[in-house]
Amino acid sequence: MLMAESHLARLYGATQAFALSTGMTCLDTILRLVKPGETVLAGDDIYGGTNRLLTYLSTHGGVDVRHIDTTRVEEVIPHLGPGNK
């Protein structure tokens, strides 16, 4: 583990932390934890690369990707519930 990762883990009381080089690398790492049948809530105005990655995950990974206006809480609340992360 890199020194920065070690320090971050200690600061947050975690057993491990990861320092990644780009936001897309971080997103890819996180999305690998999502299983087929699970739901991902994403903003409706997101970076094109993020949108392509989520579209691929939806098309080829069996993940329910929902694009919603995350600036309006009333748009988000109906999508929160059991099984949605």
Q: What is the pLDDT of residues 45-68, one digit of tens each?
A: 999 999 999 999 999 999 999 999
Residue 67 sits in the same domain as residue 85: yes
83 falls in which pLDDT band (50, 70, 90)? low
In the chain, how many domains are there? Answer: 2
What range defines the domain where residue 5 resides?
A: 1-33
Which residues touch 68 (CB under 8 Å, ≥6 apart)? 41, 42, 43, 44, 75, 76, 79
Residue 61 sits in the same domain as residue 75: yes
Residue 83 sits in the same domain as residue 46: yes
Residue 62 sits in the same domain as residue 28: no
Residue 29 sits in the same domain as residue 55: no
Residue 26 sits in the same domain as residue 43: no
> Count of CB atoms within 10 A of residue 57's CB?
19
pLDDT of residue 85 exceeding 60: no
Average pLDDT of the residues in 20-43: 94
81 falls in which pLDDT band (50, 70, 90)? confident
Residue 41 sits in the same domain as residue 80: yes
Average pLDDT of the residues in 18-28: 93
